[in-house]
Amino acid sequence: MEGLIMKSVGSWYSVKTEHGQVVQARIVGKLRLEDVKTTNPLAVGDKVILDSDVNNDFVIREVKPRINYVVRQSPRKKHNVHLIASNVDLALLIVTMVEPNLKQGFIDRFLMMTEPYNIPVAILFNKSDLYSEDDMVFFNYLKTLYTSIGYEVILVSAEQNLNIDLVRTLIKDKVSLISGQSGVGKTSLLNVIAPDLDLRTGELSDYSGKGQHTTTFAEMHELPGGGYIIDTPGIKALAFNNLEVMDVAHNFREFFILSQDCKFSDCTHRNEPKCAVKEAVNNGEVSELRYNNYLQIIQEIEDQNYWEVHNEI
């Protein structure tokens, strides 16, 4: 029997079977997995083959090949990654200008998780009811920037029901992942999009990002209008030890297109001569904001690699 993983807590998985019921199942034996080293064998969104054991309990025998997956660097094991979700059609990145403030570079760092598989991203700026005029000016700037690169940008408010219909239309019949810092209103938005779900949301007293997380594990919900949505815990920090400098260069969409005109095929767009990306930054075709975030990410990766080499000596 086939199944779809809706939730994973410890070694138990909630699996929706092809007959529509949700059952609890565990892994037996060894699953054949892809070559990526992961700290967890299965993720929400995985399609699996279910069986029953001698006690008539459900067991997972096999995971079907994934179309794509979203991973984060494991906080514990540096070169392992943690699977967040798989087989995703769309990622909704929830941010807000205030409560908590949008962290510099956060959007571009998030995109490093979705770009490797070209997962479409819609950036939802939530809590618009709280934005000042200045916040709106910056929002409009970011909207123009990210729209021009190919991402959808929508101003929303869970509180005031702003543009929720637009989001409903966007996610209809898709498997969407909802992600972002803690407290930006991911679960609140889900509750407005699909009130029947009635999920728990939090009151964050501390917006430094260290506040408590209300959602503590990824969980997939079936949407009444068709499709699925995966609520995830808030992201605290995004590190990229699992990426190489060239991966980052390839995952900045507009840089990648331009890089065909760089003199060197392995151009990192820093000090190389005849670099099409740097030229585009200089003449204003590529955003300085994006370029600076790019430099910051590759610098971080190089620093980490340096320390690793250093420590091995």
Ligand X SMILES: Nc1nc2c(ncn2[C@@H]2O[C@H](COP(=O)(O)OP(=O)(O)OP(=O)(O)O)[C@@H](O)[C@H]2O)c(=O)[nH]1
Residues that bind ligand X (CB under 6 A): 126-127, 129-130, 157-159, 182-188, 201-204, 213-215, 233-234
Residue 188 contact, options Mg ion, Zn ion, ligand X, none, Cβ 5-8 Å cut-off depending on partner type = ligand X
Q: How far is the CB of 214 from Mg ion (least distance, A)?
A: 5
Distance CA 222, CA 171 (A): 11
- Identify which of residues 204 and 249 has a Cβ nearer to ligand X in the complex: 204
User: Closest CB to Zn ion among 77 and 274?
Assistant: 274
CB of 85 to Mg ion, least distance (A): 15
| Nearest approach, Cβ of residue 185 and ligand X (Å) | 3
Q: For ligand X, give the closer residue by CB, 109 or 186.
A: 186
Least Cβ distance, residue 269 to Zn ion (angstroms): 4
Tokens representing residue 104 in the block: 């510099």
**Angle subtended at Cα 211 by Cα 6 and Cα 73, rounded to the nearest 5 degrees:** 55
Residues of the shown chain interacting with Mg ion in the complex, contacts defined by CB under 5 A: 186-187, 214-215
Closest distance to Mg ion from the beta carbon of 264 (Å) = 44
d(CA 125, CA 154): 6
Pull the structure tokens for residue 255: 């840089």
Which CB atom, from 215 or from 242, has the smaller least distance to Mg ion?
215
Cα gap 158→145, rounded to integer Å: 24
Among Zn ion, Mg ion, ligand X, none, the one that 262 touches (CB under a kind-dependent 5 to 8 A) is: Zn ion
Q: Choose the contact partner of 45 out of ligand X, Zn ion, Mg ion, none; CB within 5 to 8 A by kind.
A: none
CA dihedral 244, 250, 252, 256 (to 10 degrees): 150
Q: Where are the strands (E) in 156-302, listed by range?
A: 175-179, 219-222, 228-231
Strand runs (DSSP E) across the chain, as ranges? Answer: 2-9, 12-17, 22-27, 47-52, 58-63, 69-73, 81-86, 90-95, 121-125, 152-155, 175-179, 219-222, 228-231
- Of 186 and 269, CB closest to Zn ion: 269
Under the rule (CB under 5 A), what is the footprint of Zn ion? 262, 267, 269, 275, 277
